[in-house]
A and B are shown apart, each in its own frame.
Chain A
């Protein structure tokens, strides 16, 4: 190694002289191409992130009047019942929607990967929720679940059953949110998984068939193992977006909803503290907590991936 480096050092001037104008132009061109992205990321992601971190150590009120307060926000955070309640609601949401949503998306992707009539039509159909504005989706579902005029209760009543106050009962409200959340994300995950499935070489299936593997055996022993890198990707992004759930809850559950306490998520709490009450420092601390949780979970997942993700090839 050491000799290599020395050689490189000695050779450096000649190497630099060896760089052609054309290569230099290439470099300039390349940097120009990535500059908009890098500047955008720095200004709109990195700088706000750093500022947010700084806010969390300050008492920031409305109009950004801030005074340094050390760890006060974090001390308050750990003693705040509302934070723990919101965290447990969020955790429930993730624990239910991520595995269930993944199962549904894999199933759908497998079905739409088969030779069936009109599969492009169904692919579009399942992907539509992903390109619809989430606020609009939540509004529609809010009316579906409505106790008085909702289509769900009307259907139940037509079948002789009694309706239910789905969104204001604290036992059912969070489940309604989960259904909407999954409905919105399944299509997107399905498309990614579908792309993964289409990347699996046909030769594996042919070999499996020749060895006498049926449809199920091929799915469990060929498709699933070879799909694990894609499943891994979908899982990481689903967990992250699950922890950040906000829009459906915000649109469907109002402040005077009796189920508010049992549906408030951690990002909802952050929004309320920052924008309704003007406690920006405290809100920043909440967001840092969320960031830490997601970071730890993602690191754990990456370290566990060796155990189940197949990167052969």
Chain B
């Protein structure tokens, strides 16, 4: 009995020590941040008092490991031109919304990076939270206004004020596995296909592909699959003033049903399978012959030894004769609470310059947003027909956004999944979805 008590108390002591140690860990790291803050504050003060000769240090928040190299090259170039500025890149993974959780906590505590990546999905909440610096004046006095597609620039405008400099954009394309097409003896897809051509191609492939290999994949994915067809079909997700959703419209439902049909016809793995393994993983595992993929997937495909020499891409098929694609992208935002606000804004503006956007584009990892740098992406990836991504980018549909966008997309995915798996009809799912989503908009 004594032994047992001893063991228990020892265990408790162990647990508590661990907790205390964890506590010490976080407290020491936070004191470090405080110290570096103080240092930063000190340098600002001296910068202000003694002019631009003093050292200014900035932090730069990003989330993509694939792009760290490009960002570092840009930072190096900027530091060379501005010897008094030193910039530290802070990378936090996007996965599981880690980036946003950390950024939100940092912004609340006053220690957010001075310049950071932001996407359209999060712009509204960060703007309303007063986290984003107003870049209107600096953008107006630069060449940014005339050098970027208007739609991309306007993505980051709220109430006539600019809150970010466009960084890059992503669109979608149809990828195919040439090996599987050759084995089946079927002609490759082309840039000028329509949705009906895609279905015909699936039909032709179906019996000629090896066992367990599907012609195509239709996961429950809004940005890369069904938003394109919804918009091309004249449907919508959010109405003009963002007070109601359009899930009840037959046009919207047709744009979703066309993908469910492909699953029901056996041209795509089931929604269950795709939710577990993922269309990209199955395409890379050569279990599907064709797949839709955003331009951000290209670096991963191109690095995969198994498939990189067997694949190519073409434009997304038209729907009802309409070129359809969804465009989304990132921007560089400046933290309104930055201790070096002026230097941070200057850096953000420079990130939109031709020099910076060219450095980024030439790495071939993303499509630079600046009009004259968009071609860099194709030039850096000559092995594929990547013009498929940029050919119609000017008429691609932007993602619908609102204050509760993250919650809206999740609610949508939950209900649409029920239609994809056949648990309920799309009409019923959309009716429930509209009710829930409209309630979200009034919050």
Measuring CB to CB, which residues of chain A are less than 8 angstroms from any residue of chain B? 36-37, 39-41, 43-45, 61-65, 146-149, 165, 167-169, 192, 195-196, 198-199, 229-230, 233, 250, 254-258, 260-261, 272, 275-278, 313
Q: Which residues of A contact B273 (CB under 8 A)?
A: 147-148, 165, 168
* Minimal Cβ-Cβ distance residue in A for B220: A256
Q: Which of B1, B404, B406 contacts A199 (CB 8 A)?
A: B1
Contact A199 B277 (CB under 8 A): no
A192 to B4, CA, bound (A): 9
Among A36, A39, A276, the one with the most B-chain Cβ atoms within 10 Å of its Cβ is A276
B418 contacts A by Cβ under 8 Å: yes
Other A-B pairs beyond A43-B23, A169-B272, A258-B271, 8, CB < 8 Å: A37-B17, A37-B20, A62-B125, A165-B272, A230-B4, A275-B101, A276-B410, A278-B125
Contact B20 A258 (CB under 8 A): no
A62 to B404, CA, bound (A): 11
Q: List 16 A-B contacts (CB under 8 A).
A: A36-B20, A37-B20, A63-B131, A165-B270, A165-B273, A168-B272, A198-B3, A229-B4, A233-B8, A255-B413, A256-B417, A258-B272, A276-B97, A276-B407, A278-B406, A313-B1
A63 to B20, CA, bound (A): 27
* Minimal Cβ-Cβ distance residue in A for B273: A147
Q: Which residues of B contact A258 (CB under 8 A)?
A: 271-272, 275, 417-418, 421, 423
Q: Which residues of B contact A62 (CB under 8 A)?
A: 104, 125-126, 129
Q: Which residues of A contact B404 (CB under 8 A)?
A: 277
Q: Which residues of A contact B96 (CB under 8 A)?
A: 250
Among B8, B26, B272, the one with the most A-chain Cβ atoms within 10 Å of its Cβ is B272
* Minimal Cβ-Cβ distance residue in B for A165: B272
B53 contacts A by Cβ under 8 Å: no
Distance from A291 Cβ to chain B, minimum over Cβ atoms (Å): 18
B282 contacts A by Cβ under 8 Å: yes
Contact A199 B23 (CB under 8 A): no
Question: Given A148-B287, A192-B11 in contact, is the A275-B275 Cβ separation under 8 Å?
Answer: no
Q: Which residues of B contact A192 (CB under 8 A)?
A: 7-8, 11
Among A41, A169, A255, the one with the most B-chain Cβ atoms within 10 Å of its Cβ is A255
Q: Which of B1, B23, B275, B407 contacts A40 (CB 8 A)?
A: B23
Q: Which residues of B contact A165 (CB under 8 A)?
A: 270, 272-273, 276
Contact A44 B125 (CB under 8 A): no
A146 to B418, CA, bound (A): 20
Contact B219 A276 (CB under 8 A): no
Q: 1/0 per residue B56-89: CB within 8 Å of A? A: 0000000000000000000000000000000000
Q: Which residues of A contact B407 (CB under 8 A)?
A: 276-277
B52 contacts A by Cβ under 8 Å: no
A146 to B282, CA, bound (A): 12
Distance from A171 Cβ to chain B, minimum over Cβ atoms (Å): 12
B16 contacts A by Cβ under 8 Å: yes
Q: Which residues of A contact B131 (CB under 8 A)?
A: 63
A168 to B130, CA, bound (A): 41
A41 to B22, CA, bound (A): 11
B19 contacts A by Cβ under 8 Å: yes
B202 contacts A by Cβ under 8 Å: no
Q: Which of B16, B26, B220, B418 contacts A37 (CB 8 A)?
A: B16
* Minimal Cβ-Cβ distance residue in B for A36: B20
Contact B275 A168 (CB under 8 A): yes
B29 contacts A by Cβ under 8 Å: no
Distance from B144 Cβ to chain A, minimum over Cβ atoms (Å): 27
B136 contacts A by Cβ under 8 Å: no
Question: Given A62-B125, A63-B131, A258-B423 in contact, is the A277-B406 Cβ separation under 8 Å?
Answer: yes
A257 to B417, CA, bound (A): 8
A275 to B417, CA, bound (A): 23
Contact A255 B125 (CB under 8 A): no
A276 to B414, CA, bound (A): 15
Question: Given A36-B20, A62-B125, A258-B421 in contact, is the A199-B275 Cβ separation under 8 Å?
Answer: no
Distance from B131 Cβ to chain A, minimum over Cβ atoms (Å): 7
Q: Which residues of A contact B287 (CB under 8 A)?
A: 148
Question: Given A198-B3, A230-B4 in contact, is the A256-B129 Cβ separation under 8 Å?
Answer: no
A278 to B285, CA, bound (A): 37
Distance from B268 Cβ to chain A, minimum over Cβ atoms (Å): 14
A250 to B2, CA, bound (A): 40
A256 to B17, CA, bound (A): 40
